Structure 1
Amino acid sequence: MSDSVGASVVPFVTGEDDEEAGPRNPAERLHLAEAMRMAEAIVFASAEPVSDRQLAQRLPDGIDIAAAMAELQQVYARRGVNLVRVGDAWAFRTAGDLAFLMSRDSVQQKKLSRAALEVLAIIAYHQPVTRAEIEDIRGVETSKGTLDTLLETEWVRMRGRRKTPGRPVTYGTTENFLDHFALEEIRDLPGMEELKGAGLLSARMPSNFSIPLPPADPDDLTEDEDPLTDIDLEELGLLTPRVTEE
């Protein structure tokens, strides 16, 4: 990212429109402007999206984080680099209409197979979902390699275990998934009409066909899920087994 991203925030212009946009007290405006500069520096310097909670821990007490970030987002709205929302976090990203400038330097990535794309779509819309439920929706068996590929992309994660016999693992999407597909939250996934308009769904779909609404907060476990324990992580190969001293 160019160092120009870290340029100071555009000075505020006093006037009627400015007063309507934020606090009328000049001292409050100055306080908010300084907080925006600090937030800008924090997000610019971070390799990962910065959450509201992290900003609140590092900015002065009493700062309206939502107001400061919304105004900072407007400052960058027409620049080559935009401030974007990623889940509950913030990050700087190249403006969408300038992405072609980066294509020459980008690393050519291996395309996902059709099976992997189908599984990814099912997980995104149906999460939390188990492997058996994925197979039931697709109507075919899902290989472990397909799920492993999606886990390696870090677009999919193991959420927990279903409270059913066998305690199967449940899968869901990650913030990396939101970031890659430029989604602020999982509920920004395209709906049925949008998918039809893009030619991804047949116009002759059954009348009872519907697309499930993803959870508002995919990080929260549902009532029929148990959290993954250290023992679960060891069994799944996600945690190095502990050595028992004799």
Structure 2
Amino acid sequence: MTTATKKRKPADDGDAVFDRELEDLPQELRWREWMGRIEAVLFASASPVGRDDLARVVGQGASVEMLIEDIQAELIGRPYELAQVAGGWMFRTKSQFADAIKAAADLGEQALAFTEMEMGVLCAIAYHQPIDRAGLKDIFGKEVSRDQLARLRYKDLIASGPRSPRPGAPHTFVTTETFLTSFDLQSLRDLPELEQLEDAGLGAF
């Protein structure tokens, strides 16, 4: 029993490192810090974050819903909002700015601006098409967010392919003609060898 207790102590000490309650702060500053934590978590996530996950970064006496309301109030007049979707919350641009976003995306090379993950997903689809989300998860070791796939689809670089033979027959993804023209390829046979991608730091797919 003594040995088991000793093994648990480091975990207990580790849990104490993150101060959720912030009892040493005045109430106003404590509330402001909780708001900042929730904003940080939401900005870092590409998908909706549920209440239970947000509650892990604030004190037990804090209302996640009230913190969300205060953040939403501060965003009035900003081009983005904090919206409740799919059982959680996420930041998204307001619909009234959709035309401005599209216009910016049409400005030359900016339309092909990628995050590292988006480029990786695009490469994986190009080399393994048709491939579904489960196949992409097998490659990356984690779920590929629907938002990342939606951004690639918005740029017309990927499209829906044939149904997968997996249970449920999920949709697969394939590259498009726009993909070929954007990367100056005559056909998929002109894709560089995987070794060249590794040399470029894109990893193996």
Q: Give the TM-score taking structure 1 as reference length.
A: 0.37
Q: Larger helix proportion, structure 1 or 2?
A: 2
Q: Give the TM-score taking structure 2 as reference length.
A: 0.44
